[in-house]
Chain A
């Protein structure tokens, strides 16, 4: 009995060693170098305080800011350390102004692709990615209380808007 088991084991290792000697076929897949561009447009430069305020004003109102208005906004901006808080207040100020150029909520709901694309071009100076388009359309569809102004608010207070 012990002998027959030993023979079986011996034959097994013999087969394995023969199979193991078989030449391996290696499939190599070569990918050419490709240039990957950032969806966020490779923005690497921080807008200066004045740039941020003047660009935001021009983006929201479609006109350049007056020097008197800029003085007040700059005064608020330089007088408080947490700039996110000041930007937030300035954004409230801009978007609550009746002269702010904001599409209607109906336009946003019935033309979400155009609304999102136009907003991205206006504020981020680029097209939205497919993922961004999908996500924002989903948010617009699911949030009935969300206004076009609210999307603008989120964009204007985002990190990307601080850069160019």
Chain B
């Protein structure tokens, strides 16, 4: 998950990094199949409106994940009887989610350590 560069827009809602998008999508679908619009809503609500997905990047991410075999798709009917494409996580996708979460947590912990430091690190012992 390499940061591609970030900028804060004037509404000060965080924009998304690409790799993060994949793992968020996978997590969003853990509780059952959803269509694309519902995925954006879920993520927005779960982050308490902090994370708003750029819609132009959502669908390509979904298709790429499907191509890699981490998601599978099926056409169905939405709540308002419209034809919509529903996505579901595959076993491979679940495995990938677990791995990504571990990596993400380790990364976040490391960043937090550095940012939360109250004093510079001790001099290294020379030996």
**B is bound to A:** no
Please list the residues of chain A having a beta carbon within 8 angstroms of any beta carbon in chain B.
none
Please list the residues of chain B having a beta carbon within 8 angstroms of any beta carbon in chain A.
none
